[in-house]
């Protein structure tokens, strides 16, 4: 299925200076860059973007991490783009991510800091686009 998915180089990834190298990986694996913007998440944007995690123990730290600096937001497109991005990203916890994945090779501190985001589903991608590209919140 041809899909669109939302990818973020999160603030920790941007601060590590590895954004362009990560973006190259997506492009090298034949995902198309449909949109790109720099975005500095407001509190409201971060809370909405990760709204389904509200109430979890890690939510406050996640929101703090997302508002700690600028992110690079992208829409990537291609066959099975959602799953392919998540495979390239690797495990949520960087210490469990395997070599060759972004979260392993560009390892961040863990907890909320795991370098990148990739949408969980096509529906989630649409909601995320409303926040980061269409300013609908």
Among 29, 42, 92, 95, contact with ligand CDP (rule: CB under 6 A): 92
Establish if 112 lies at the interface with ligand CDP (CB under 6 A): yes
Whether the CB-CB separation of 107 and 115 falls below 8 Å is answered with yes
Whether the CB-CB separation of 54 and 1 falls below 8 Å is answered with no
Q: How far apart are CA 98 and CA 50, in angstroms?
A: 25
Tell me, yes or no, if 53 is annotated catalytic: no
Binding to ligand CDP in span 32-51, by CB under 6 A: none
Which string of x and - marks every residue 104-123 that binds Mg ion (by CB under 5 A)? ----------------x---
Whether the CB-CB separation of 16 and 106 falls below 8 Å is answered with yes
Chain residues in the site for ligand CDP (CB under 6 A): 53, 58, 61-62, 92, 111-112, 114, 117, 120
For the annotated catalytic residues, the residue numbers are 117
């Amino acid at each position: 299925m041809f899909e669109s998915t939302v990818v973020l180089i999160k603030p920790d990834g941007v601060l590590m200076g590895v954004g362009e190298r990560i973006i190259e990986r997506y492009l090298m694996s034949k995902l198309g860059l449909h949109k790109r913007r720099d975005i500095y998440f407001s509190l409201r944007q971060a809370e909405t973007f990760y709204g389904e995690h509200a109430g979890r123990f890690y939510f406050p730290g996640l929101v703090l991490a997302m508002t700690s600096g600028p992110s690079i937001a992208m829409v990537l497109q291609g066959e099975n783009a959602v799953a392919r991005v998540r495979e390239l990203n690797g495990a949520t916890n960087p210490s469990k991510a395997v070599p060759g994945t972004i979260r392993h090779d560009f390892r961040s501190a863990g907890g909320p800091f795991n370098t990148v985001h990739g949408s969980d589903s096509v529906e989630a991608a649409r909601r995320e686009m409303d926040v980061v590209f269409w300013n609908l919140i």
